[in-house]
């Protein structure tokens, strides 16, 4: 299965995503609670796929996606956010994210979108 990085400022969300992904056979290689750390950990681990929150301290998810995609054009990123702001979603899609999932996340929806992204 895939090496995945989880980026979310909520430890509860990270734990939830980690347990869903691990149960589906994926390997969570890194977790970050802000966009700045996400960019550093992406450089280090080069995950097959990254889940990215939008609203985070230090650097938001949109800026982190921009930095990662500028350096790694083939990076696979799925935004998972509680914010349903069309302008932010469109900006993230223009930057090259693969998909967008609105919180709260259902395990089936998450696994389905991740498996599709990894095909």
CATH assignment of the domain containing 80: 3.40.50.2300
Q: What is the DSSP letter of 6?
A: E
| pTM of structure | 0.95
Within-domain flag for 119? no
39 Cα distance to chain centroid: 11
Q: CA separation (Å) from 102 to 31, 36, 70, 88? A: 19, 22, 25, 12
Q: Is 83 inside any structural domain?
A: yes
8 A C-beta contact, residue 65 and residue 88: no
**Of 101, 86, 37, 34, nearest to 61 (Cα)?**
34
Range(s) of the domain holding residue 86: 3-114
> Number of structural domains, the chain?
1
Residue pLDDT tens, the chain, 119 long: 899 999 999 999 999 999 999 999 999 999 999 999 999 999 999 999 999 999 999 999 999 999 999 999 999 999 998 877 788 888 999 999 999 999 999 999 999 999 999 98
Query: Does residue 65 form part of some domain?
Result: yes
What pLDDT, on the 0 to 100 scale, is given for residue 82?
84
């Amino acid at each position: 299965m895939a090496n995945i990085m989880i980026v979310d400022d909520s430890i509860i969300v990270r734990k939830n995503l980690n347990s869903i992904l691990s149960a589906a056979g994926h390997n969570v290689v890194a977790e970050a609670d802000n966009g700045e750390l996400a960019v550093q950990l992406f450089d280090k681990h080069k995950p097959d796929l990254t889940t990215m929150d939008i609203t985070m301290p230090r650097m938001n998810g949109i800026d982190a996606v921009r930095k990662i995609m500028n350096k790694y054009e083939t990076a696979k990123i799925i935004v998972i956010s509680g914010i349903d702001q069309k302008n932010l979603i469109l900006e993230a899609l223009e930057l090259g994210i693969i998909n967008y999932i609105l919180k709260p996340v259902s395990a089936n929806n998450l696994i389905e979108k991740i498996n599709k992204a990894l095909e």
